[in-house]
Structure 1
Amino acid sequence: MTTAQTYAEFAAREARGVSHAYERLSSAVSGDDEMLALLDNLPPAKRQPNLLFGVVRFLGGPVEDPAAFHDYTVANWPLIEVQMRARATQTNEAGRCAVLLPVLSMLPQPLALLEVGASAGLCLYPDRYAYRYGDRKIGEGEPVLDCEATGLIPPTTLPEVVWRAGLDLNPLDVTDPADVAWLEALIWPEHAHRRARLRAAAAVAAADPPSLLRGDLVDDLPALAAQAPVDATLVVFHTSVLYQVPAPRRAAFTELAGRLPGHWVSNEAPEVLPYDDLPDPPDHAHHNVLGLDGRPLAWTRAHGQAVRWFG
């Protein structure tokens, strides 16, 4: 897929109906030869829309008007390029816990959670957040994670988590204002509710900071998994991570995750982690597939706002 096609698809499938600003920007970039030439000098994994838009926001640039965005980006490209090469889209969306909760609640308790691609580790606290599925609320406190659930009866209890750890090539520190600022820059412009949710989740994590290891998802996973208490159910999980991993390494990880003790919970795009005989997605928007031990269970939206169960 060309860079132009990547931006056009992002506008049509991910941003449409979710972020008017990013839909306009990505559509404009898809037809902007000057911008595309700059992006094509980057490695393919560094050309993605969310990374470009997040870096420009992080640097204080404009993202509401495509013309102003073009002028700012071209004028400041050396600085933007440095940031894009150094950073990754480590979107740490606590809302994704709402689509993980139905699976985590059905597993033998207590749980030992190990998140691959953990970023700052906000998804390691599914037992500390509150949830609202329609008119059903679970848990107390903040943040409250809203999720539209179809095809399943939402859980009635929170999981019991006795151990939590994360693995990431570049862990972010939830107590570091600069790292939290990068996480905020990755939230789409109109999503004030997600910024408030991030701050509330960051406060939860900062009160009991997670154990995060800088390491590789294949080389360093077995040793970290071995640290989990033997009297808890190990759950290795990841959400929207594997698209950043080269295909051979991705295959090595899925083989490893499938043979570790405990369970493997995945939430990835179907083209990234394919399954046989998936039902049709609910619509043409971008959806992930929630899976348990290599078996698909549900379609989910990227920020945890909806889950449609079919498993």
Structure 2
Amino acid sequence: MTTAAQYAEFAAREAHEVSPVYERLSVAVSRDDEVLALLGTLPEAKRQPNLLFGVVRLLGGSVEDPGAFHDYTVANWPAIEAEMRARATQTNEPGRCAVLLPVLAELPQPLALLEVGASAGLCLYPDRYAYRYGDHVVGSGEPVLECAATGLAPPPGVPDVVWRAGLDLNPLDVTDSADLAWLDALIWPEHAHRRARLRAAAAVAAAEPPLLVRGDLVDDLPALAAQAPAGATLVVFHTSVMYQVPAPRREAFVEVVRGLPGHWIANERPGLLPYDALPEPPGGALHVLALDGVPLAWTRPHGQAISWFA
């Protein structure tokens, strides 16, 4: 897929009806030969819209007006390029816990959670947040995560988590102002509720920091998994991570994670993991929630909806 097509698709599938600012900006970039040429100097994996837009916002540029964005990007390209080469999209959306919860709550308790691509580890606290599925509230605490659920009964309660660890090529620390600024820059412009959620979840993580290990999802996963306490169900999980992993490494990861004890939860775009068949999606940009390689539900990328089909 060309870079222009990538931005046009992001506008149509990801940003449409979710972020008018990013929809408008993505369409503009898809037609902007000068910015596309600059992006073409980057490795293909580093050309993605979320990364470009997040870096520009981090550096103080405008994303609301496409013309101002063009001028800023062209004028400041050396600084933007350096940040894009050094960084990856590490959106740490705690709202995704709302679509993980129905699966986590049904596994043998207590749980030892290990997140691959953990960023700052904010999805390692599903037991500390509260959830609202329509009129049904589960758990207590802040933030309160809202999720539209169809095809399943809301979970009866939050899981019992006795160990939490994360693996990431570049773990982030929510007590570090620069790391928190990057997480904030990755939240889409209009999403004030997600900014408030980030702050609330960061406070939870700062009060009881998770074990975050710098490492590779294939080479370093078994050693970290071996640290999980005996008597707890190991749950290796990941959400919106595999698109950054080359296909051969994804295949190697699947082989490694299937060889571990416990369970594996994946919440990823369709096509990235090998599922035999999927039902027709309900529309919009969706991920597939799966347990141990078996697809269970369609989910929205930030955890705002789940449609159970299993």
Q: Name the structure 2 match of 1:177.
A: 177
**Per-residue CA distance 1:85-109 (angstroms, 9 max, x = gap):** 0000000000000000000000000
Separation (CA, whole Å) in 2 of partners of 1:43 and 1:273: 23
**Structure 2 counterpart SS, 1:261:** coil
Give the corresponding residue for 1:286. Answer: 285
> 2:145 aligns to what?
145
Structure 1 residue 213, shift from structure 2 partner: 0.3
Q: CA deviation at 1:309?
A: 0.2
Partners of 1:116 and 1:105 in 2: how far apart? 19
Corresponding residue for residue 66 of structure 1: 66
Question: Amino acid of the residue matched to residue 93 of structure 2?
Answer: E
What SS does the corresponding residue of 1:17 show, helix, strand or coil?
coil
Alpha-carbon distance in structure 2 between the residues aligned to 1:274 and 1:181: 35
> What's the % identity of the aligned pairs?
79
Letter in 2 for 1:308: S
1:20 partner letter: P
Gaps of 5+ in 1: none
Q: Shift of the alpha carbon at 1:139?
A: 1.1
Matched, 1:220 2:220: yes
Distance 1:141 1:245 in 2: 34
Q: Using the alignment, how far apart are the partners of 1:205 and 1:310 within structure 2?
A: 33
Matching of residue 46 in structure 1 with residue 46 in structure 2: yes
Aligned residues: 310
Instruction: Give deviations 1:43-75, integer Å, cap 9, x for gaps.
Output: 000000000000000001000000000000000
Cα deviations by residue, 1:75-127 (Å, 9 ceiling, x for unpaired) = 00000000000000000000000000000000000000000000000000000
Tell me by how many angstroms 1:256 deviates.
0.9
- Which residue pairs with 1:94 in the alignment? 94
Could you say what secondary structure the match of 1:280 adopts?
Answer: coil
Q: CA deviation at 1:220?
A: 0.4
Q: CA RMSD in A?
A: 0.5
What CA deviation, in whole Å up to 9, does each residue of 1:237-268 have, x standing for no partner?
A: 00000110111011000111112100000000
TM-score (norm 1): 0.99
Structure 1 residue aligned with 2:157: 157
Offset, 1:300: 0.3
Query: Structure 2: which 5+ residue stretches go unaligned?
Result: none
* 1:83 and 2:73 matched: no
Runs of 4+ in 1 over 3 A off after TM superposition: none
Q: Which amino acid in the other structure matches residue 52 of structure 2?
A: L
Residue of structure 2 in register with 1:130 after alignment: 130
Listed one character per residue, the Cα deviations across residues 127-177 of structure 1 (whole Å, up to 9, x for unaligned) are 000000000001112100000000000101110000000000000011111
- Give the Å deviation of 1:274: 3.6
Q: Equivalents in 2 of 1:65, 1:273: separation in Å?
A: 37
Instruction: Provide, for residues 258-292 of structure 1, a one-character-per-residue CA deviation record: whole Å limited to 9, x for no partner.
Output: 12100000000012124122001001x11000000
CA distance in structure 1 between the aligned counterparts of 2:288 and 2:8, rounded to whole angstroms: 22
Q: CA deviation at 1:187?
A: 0.0
Whole-angstrom CA distance in 1 between matches of 2:70 and 2:263? 46
CA distance in 1, matches of 2:229, 2:306: 31
CA distance in structure 2 between the partners assigned to 1:118 and 1:247 by the alignment: 20
User: In the alignment, what sits opposite 2:298?
Assistant: 299
1:56 equivalenced with 2:56 (yes/no): yes
Alignment correspondent of 1:248: 248
Q: Distance in 2 between matches of 1:289 and 1:263?
A: 16
What CA distance in whole angstroms lies between the structure 1 residues aligned with 2:243 and 2:280? Answer: 21
SS at 1:164's partner residue? Answer: strand
In 2: Cα distance, 1:174 partner to 1:231 partner: 30
Structure 1 counterpart of 2:13: 13
Q: How does 1:14-29 map to 2 (within 5 A)?
A: 14-29=14-29
- TM-fit CA distance, 1:194: 0.2
TM-score by length of 2: 0.99
Deviation at 1:301, TM superposition (A): 0.4
Q: Please state whether the residue corresponding to 1:252 is helix, strand or coil.
A: helix
